Amino acid sequence: MTSRTTHHLHLDRRLTRRAVFQGGAALAAVSLAGCANDDGGGEPAPIAELPVAVGPTQVPPAPTQPPIGSPVAGYLDPTRWSGRSLVIASPAFGEYLDAVTIAFFDAFAMATGATVRHQDFGREGVAGVIDQVESGETVWDVLLVPGEEVLPLAQAGYLEPIDYNVVDPTALYAELMFQHGVGARMYSTTIVFPPAADPPANWTSFWDVSTTPGTRALRKSPIGTLEFALLADGVAMPDLYPLDTSRAFAALDRIRDTTIFYEDSKQPVELVRTGQVALASAWNVRTDLPDVVSLVSPQWTGGMVSADSWIIPRGAPNQDVGMSFINFATRAVPSANFSRLQSFGPVNQDALALLRPDIIERLPNAPGRLALQFFQNWGFWAEFRESLIVQFNDWLLNPVATPPARTRTFGVDR
């Protein structure tokens, strides 16, 4: 499942399935002048770590690897896209946006001469690209969106196909390539527990409140939560999809009385850190933040690997530059430079060789780790997301009659 592929692409219809930020200008500059001959060749010579200003109320950033200063093959002409502009829209903000800007936006601008602007689509979400395409006035050239948005947008005709003659798929993970999108970053939803506690072996242990007493926390969403329920009930990872939803809800019934259902991705780690819950599901990037990394631990076994994707909306005015950007952003050096700042897995398999061992250890695709996990099936969720959200929310609001049970959401008792 993790083997590299040369020209095999996942069709949209097929079921498969974020520190140092002040150094942006330096990173972009060294992207043009390094010691390796291509983006996947030997270990580049690191440059000196830049100083970080830490305010009195800020948490010092986690130790990061210095910028990887190797040129990217095919991007050696700094005037290639001179005079051209690229508008990239995403929900990124804060340190995550800083990392994306350093590793991708600024580096691409320096390597090609293009002017890159970022727009936050915020609450507008993917509805913004739908409005643009339907009005015939597309202004965004590239978007960074959750992986589950790609297939529905493509099936509705809102996206341009990815040109894999421009975007080299050779070292990319097959599970992250689609006809209308390419993986941008990889992350896992794992079991999180206090380091002093006995590690849960898997989701069956998570469900076993007799062996590990205490409250649990699961995401208030069917995505992932249903998969984990089935794993807890004995379904093997290769047999998860299509999901047996009746069996999943029956498994959830068994722990609903001791489960908090959270909505904010910061909540599960905080709940575990403060002892409010014994175990939680959480994104691996939340467990690696400087203020909690020593206070919570992830169990990767049975984790769900998800990804965000680069897409190009139909009618984008600068599709040629956009496709070139996507190819650049998925090369080994830019991918590694992003993962050294944020604990998202690089989508280019060759990027791992450019990262320090301590950085790799934080990532969902560290060697041998993907075999412990499963990839979210974007095709299944494209087809059933809306109906299962309705069913999941109804289940939360309508407890089983016998025995009496209550369902709790964070801050709410029902």
pLDDT digits (tens, 9 = 90+) for 271-294: 999 999 999 999 999 998 888 888
The torsion region of residue 146 among left (phi > 0), alpha (psi -120 to 50) and beta comes to beta
Q: How far apart are CA 408 and CA 273, in angstroms?
A: 19
The model's confidence at residue 10, banded by pLDDT at 50, 70 and 90, is very low
* Helix, coil or strand: residue 339: helix
CATH T-level assignment (fold) for domain 188-305+373-413:
D-Maltodextrin-Binding Protein; domain 2 (3.40.190)
Question: Which residues are CB-neighbours of 123 under 8 A, at least 6 positions away?
Answer: none
Beta-bridge partners for 146: 308
Torsion over CA of 16, 261, 192 and 240, rounded to 10 degrees?
-30
- Region 172-188: what's the mean pLDDT? 98
**pLDDT tens across 198-255, in order?**
999 999 999 999 999 999 999 999 999 999 999 999 999 999 999 999 999 999 999 9
Q: How far apart are CA 105 and CA 86, in angstroms?
A: 9
pLDDT at position 152:
96
The model's confidence at residue 63, banded by pLDDT at 50, 70 and 90, is low
Q: Is 52 exposed, middle or buried (0-12, 13-18, 19+ CB in 10 A)?
A: middle
24-183+315-344 falls under which CATH superfamily? Periplasmic binding protein-like II (3.40.190.10)
The model's confidence at residue 122, banded by pLDDT at 50, 70 and 90, is confident
Residue 267 has pLDDT above 50, yes or no: yes
Nearest to 215 by CA among 283, 286, 299, 271: 271
Question: Which residues are CB-neighbours of 288 under 8 A, at least 6 positions away?
Answer: 62, 343, 362
Residue 322 has pLDDT above 90, yes or no: yes
310 in Cβ contact with 160 (< 8 Å): no
Residue of higher predicted confidence among 365 and 20: 365
- Region 345-350: what's the mean pLDDT? 98
What are the start and end residues of each CATH 3.40.190.10 domain in the chain? 24-183+315-344, 188-305+373-413
Q: How far apart are CA 190 and CA 301, in angstroms?
A: 8
Q: How far apart are CA 375 and CA 194, in angstroms?
A: 25
Report the 3 state secondary structure along 89-131.
EECCCHHHHHHHHHHHHHHHHHHHCCEEEEEECHHHCCHHHHH
Pairing of strands 85-90, 142-146: parallel
199 in Cβ contact with 299 (< 8 Å): yes
Residue of higher predicted confidence among 104 and 59: 104
Nearest to 297 by CA among 218, 212, 195, 200: 195
Torsion over CA of 277, 395, 407 and 284, rounded to 10 degrees?
20
Residue 295 has pLDDT above 60, yes or no: yes
- Region 170-179: what's the mean pLDDT? 97
